[in-house]
Structure formats: C-alpha cells, structure tokens
Copies of this chain bind each other. A is one copy, B any other.
Amino acid sequence: MSPADLRERVDKALHEFLQRAVAPLAGLSPDLAPFGVVTETFVLDGGKRLRPAFCYWGHRAAGGDDSDALIRAAASLELLQACALVHDDVIDSSDTRRGAPSVHRRFAAIHRSEGWHGDPEAFGSASAILLGDLALIWADTMLAESGLGVDALQRAFGVWDAMRVEVMCGQYLDVVEQARGGGSVERALRVARFKSAKYTVERPLHLGAALAGAGGDMLSALSAFGLPIGEAFQLRDDLLGVYGDPAETGKPAGDDLREGKRTVLVAFALEGANDTQRETLRRLLGDPALGEDGVTILREVIDATGARDRVEGLIDERYEQAQRALESPLLDSTAADALRVLAAAATRRAH
C-alpha cells in the first residue's frame, strides 16, 4: 500500500470517528458546536500521519494483517497528537500551526466575533485546553472502539499507556529545558529522544506490533530501526525550524529562533561559537520581536559555527543505522520496504 493510500484511509477513519464522536455534543448544547468543527478541521487539515503509518507498518512488520480496524487503531494516534499540539501551542503562545491559526487563536476569534465579555485570548486558551483534553479522551475511545479484539487491545494497553505518559513528560522536559536556557547538547538530545524518537516512531511501531501479538524480540528489532530514525527525524525538524521554507513547514520562517527553542542545533551552535558569535546567539535567540534580518543573521551564525553540518552528520549516521536495522530477518519484507520509504521521507534534506 502506497503512503498516499494509507493516508487516505487514515483520514477517512478520522473523519468517520469524529462525526460519530461529535454527534452527542449537539444534544448537550448547541454552544458545543465549535468543539466539533475546530477539532475536525484541525485534525483533518494537516499533519503527515507519520504515527499512524509507523503503527500500521509495525503491525505488518510483526506479521499482522491489514484491516480497517487496524487503520482506526493507528489513526487514533492522530488524536493523541492533536492534544499534544493544541496544548503545546497554548504553552508556546503560537499563533499558527500547519499554516493556519492555532486552535486557541480560532477560539479567540470566535469570542471576538460574538462580542463576548472578557479577554478573547484568555477565552481562546481556556477553550484550547479543553479541546485538547477532549482529543486525548477521544484518542482512547477511537482505539477502544477500533474493532480490534479485546485481547489485542489488552496486549497493547501497556504500550499505549507508556506512550501517552511519555509524550506529556517530553513536553514538560522541553519546557524545563527552555526555562533553564542551558543549551546542553546532551539534554537537547534527550528531549529529542522522548519527544520524537520514542513518541513519534518507536512507540507507534510497538503499538502496531503489540496489537499483532509481537514478543520481545520483535519489539527490539523495531526499536533498532525506530529510535535512530526518530532522532534523525527530530534533528531534521530542528533544521527545518531554522532553515525551512514556510510553505513546507507551515510555520513562519525562523519561528523556532524567535521562540528560542533549545534544540540540538542550537546547542551545537553555542558549543562551537567564538565569543562574537556566542554574543549574537545570546542576544537574538528567543527575541519575540525577531525580524527577517535577525533571522538571516542567526541562520548565518549557526551555519558558521559548524552546527548545521554537525546536525546533518548526526542525521546521516542515524539514517544509515536505521537502514541496516531493517535488514533484520524478523521483519516482514513488505513492511521493511515501506519503512525504508517512510524513513527516507521523514529525514530527507529540505529543498
């Protein structure tokens, strides 16, 4: 099955689930209508569906069969991700997500257009916190009602549970890392490992495999692929956050610089900088008013410290390691081929 076909099936499953999940809200109160509309728009209008893809192919790699129930179970990861993103945007006060206004901005706009009392921004944040909670609950419902058997769900519960805890802990570590402003390479890599390697790739692979009844050897074989490719994926994302094209990333150019994200890239830059460069980095990184010129200066300084090349080097190493792991005889060969394609797509250089 091609990535595009898989994506289409995942989107269809999400659409069908949300239609069903949102329906009872109308019976509670017409005021709840925006919850349904905003959730559905947010979930369906973007995202690369990487987590469902890794879950699906983890299942197939472990010898599990294709089924619509599997697609629904895999798609539930997008609702967990919706919670993480919506709450993350509140936490970072991000105005945009996937090229459109973030959820709290959408609710602030509703507040304004209704001419309600109080602060539209506060209303927006409150609504986004609650919508994120709802998405977290719906993720659970979608998995439980996927149509996979009770035994399969029981087997997968430990992975599902660990993954949900890890994503929230990863977000918190990220927030602490920003607050600490330390910029240590080691800590930045640890955040990357949680937020991305485990949560985006390894856990979804394990979830799919556990649903197929996989044992420890299979899970290890999938980790040997998933952890390096997940780190590579996060490192690519860090580069895109600084050097990426807004049309591709859906975020304004240099947004990560304006937020002062303590990525591995930034940690390398601080480590490799001379005094003048370090001064520039300290002065401009995290400046919320950073303009186009500031972004250009920071890009050049980071490049000049050698940080960009070092990150590309780490990506290459991890990509190679992941490719070798796919040669494991334990993995179904169709699935290994599909994972190879996914790995390349998720870590390829920006154009």
Q: Give A residues with C-beta under 8 Å from B.
A: 21, 24-25, 28-29, 31-32, 35, 83, 87, 90-91, 111, 114, 116-118, 122-123, 125-127, 129-134, 136-138, 140-141, 144, 150, 154, 157, 161-162, 164-166, 168-169, 171-173, 175-176, 178-181, 190, 194
Contact = CB atoms under 8 A, between A and B. Distances in A.
A114 B176 CA distance: 11
Contact of A133 (B21, B25, B83, B114): B83
Contacts of A35: 169, 172
Given A91-B125, A137-B161, A154-B150, A168 B130 contact: yes
Nearest to A93: B122
B118 A178 contact: yes
Given A117-B180, A123-B175, A161-B141, A28 B169 contact: yes
Contacts of A180: 114, 116-117
A34 B141 CA distance: 30
A179 B83 contact: no
Nearest to A166: B28
A21 to B, nearest CB: 8
Contacts of A141: 161
A3 to B, nearest CB: 30
